[in-house]
Amino acid sequence: MGLLSKFFTQPKNAVSLNDFFKSVPNTNAGEVITNEGALNLSPIYAAVNLKANSLAKLPIHVYRKTEKGRERVYDHPVAQLLSGRVNPLMSTFTFVHLLQTHRGTEGVHYSRINTDRKGKVIGLYPLNPSRVDIVEDISGKIFYVESTKDGKTNVYNQEELLVITYLTTDGITPKSPIDVLRETAGLITAQDRYITSFYSQGTLTRGVLKIPTQLSKDAKDAVRRHWMEANSKGNEQKVAVLDSGMEFQNITLNLADQEFLASRKFSIEEIARAYNIPLHMLNSLESATFNNIEQMTMSFVMDTLMPEAIAIEQELNYKLFTPSEQKQGLYVKFNLSSAMRADSVARSQFYKTMIEAGIYSINEIRKFEEMNAIENGDKHYRSLNFIDIDSADEYQKAKAGVEQGSPKK
């Protein structure tokens, strides 16, 4: 990394293009929306945080494939890393949360893979995606150039970094959800700015004062000035007193009449659509019912969380395990079943079905519920109502007391 960095130097006081364009309006609404700044909008913050929390709370373990299925691995360096802290500053939860936040705002996550002299992974250190540029040399090899805050340049090859993109059109360059939502975010920001300006005037009403006599320009200015002073900040709760013959006519348009509410609702729908999140998870419950909420939650796990988890798993498996370890069947896996367990009633019904089908043992279910194992709890059971089709005749004869073609005496 150090040798390559010499070929990618920059002046110490250099200003990146990202920093330069942060002050340039980049939406039709005239607002400046950066990837990081978009998090200041509550719907986008909620969407990014929801997906980050949903993934970060899932258990993630190292397993080894066996003839009977798989077994959990505890003593491998990667297993120890993921069960504790990925670096001195970050727990696994914080790391996965940050990883997903980067993907939801910048469209990609980068983490430096630290190893010891033996090649053992000893730490994962996230980089700021906004400070990383992708460079391709003449041979087609990809490098990642990090510009640090102090003006230094670090260059990494593909094997030295975890690179987990959100969406890409060429397999290399990330496309952020904020790129799609920039106009929506600009509209929300402009609306918020207008509403703030509207209420900061000190009065909730605007209109005209009708006066029965003709006024000069100076007199009109004086009446207007006195009226504004009487209704400015600090005087909001005072009663307005009109002189004889004066009449105030309110001509303020209601915000709902200006389609602010409809526009805001549409903006939230656009954000939910871009992040593939059900509307009820962003507290938009207008068309939600208990039944379809449960179905949408399951869809969120299967259609949103699962692809995200697979993308992370595949990168971890490729970069953190050696080829020989991969051949031995070592791999990282999120436990999505914990996200699919809903309320206690649905959970108990799910467990009951899995036990009766012989899929789960009692101890496996107790482990899901953070309970200790019990004696003989590793046995698997199956309902007697199920029987192999080839044994159906023998089973019916046995029930009827028939043995070897003759009734029992």
The answer, yes or no, to whether residue 16 has pLDDT greater than 60, is: no
First to last CA, the chain: 88
| Average pLDDT of span 162-166 | 96
The answer, yes or no, to whether residue 327 has pLDDT greater than 60, is: yes
Least confident of 75-79, 214-218, 381-385: 381-385
Which H helix or E strand runs over 184? helix 177-200
Which H helix or E strand runs over 183? helix 177-200
Claim to verify: residue 301 and residue 167 sit in the same structural domain:
yes
**What is the C-alpha separation between 148 and 146, in angstroms, rounded?**
6
Residues of the chain with pLDDT > 90, as a percent, come to: 35
| Average pLDDT of span 263-289 | 79
User: Strand 207-210 relative to strand 161-165: parallel, antiparallel, unpaired?
Assistant: unpaired
| Average pLDDT of span 224-236 | 71
User: Quick one: angle between helices 177-200 and 42-56, nearest 10?
Assistant: 130
> What is the domain extent for residue 172?
1-203+254-335
Residues with Cβ within 8 Å of 69's Cβ and at least 6 positions away in sequence, in order, are none
Q: What is the DSSP letter of 240?
A: P
pLDDT digits (tens, 9 = 90+) for 287-305: 655 566 677 778 888 899 9
**What is the C-alpha separation between 212 and 215, in angstroms, rounded?**
9
Claim to verify: residue 258 and residue 247 sit in the same structural domain:
no
11: confidence class by pLDDT, cuts 50, 70, 90: very low
Claim to verify: residue 14 and residue 159 sit in the same structural domain:
yes
Claim to verify: residue 327 and residue 345 sit in the same structural domain:
no
**What is the C-alpha separation between 396 and 384, in angstroms, rounded?**
13
Domain boundary among 280, 305, 335: 335
Which whole-number Å values give the CA distances from 33 to 37, 39, 105, 214, 267, in the listed order?
6, 10, 12, 49, 15
Query: 304 or 259: whose pLDDT is higher?
Result: 304
Residues of the chain with pLDDT > 70, as a percent, come to: 73
Claim to verify: residue 268 and residue 371 sit in the same structural domain:
no
The answer, yes or no, to whether residue 259 has pLDDT greater than 70, is: no
Claim to verify: residue 268 and residue 156 sit in the same structural domain:
yes
**What is the C-alpha separation between 308 and 301, in angstroms, rounded?**
10
Which whole-number Å values give the CA distances from 339 to 247, 301, 304, 347, 390, in the listed order?
62, 7, 12, 11, 38
Tell me the pLDDT of the chain averaged across its residues.
Answer: 80
Claim to verify: residue 131 and residue 16 sit in the same structural domain:
yes
Claim to verify: residue 77 and residue 181 sit in the same structural domain:
yes
SS3 70: strand
Domain boundary among 309, 335, 361: 335
Claim to verify: residue 238 and residue 270 sit in the same structural domain:
no
13: confidence class by pLDDT, cuts 50, 70, 90: very low
Claim to verify: residue 71 and residue 209 sit in the same structural domain:
no
**What is the C-alpha separation between 113 and 125, in angstroms, rounded?**
7
Query: Where in 158-246 does DSSP place strands (E)?
Result: 161-165, 207-210
CA nearest to 315, candidates 327, 301, 328, 331: 331
> Which residue, chain included where needed, has tokens 């105030």?
248
Query: 107 or 407: whose pLDDT is higher?
Result: 107
Please tell me the total count of domains within the chain: 3
In this prediction, residue 406 carries a pLDDT of 53
Claim to verify: residue 237 and residue 303 sit in the same structural domain:
no
In this prediction, residue 298 carries a pLDDT of 80
Domain boundary among 312, 335, 358: 335
Claim to verify: residue 273 and residue 399 sit in the same structural domain:
no
Least confident of 46-60, 159-173, 373-387: 373-387
Least confident of 16-30, 94-108, 246-260, 341-355: 16-30
In this prediction, residue 220 carries a pLDDT of 80
pLDDT digits (tens, 9 = 90+) for 183-206: 877 777 777 777 776 666 655 556
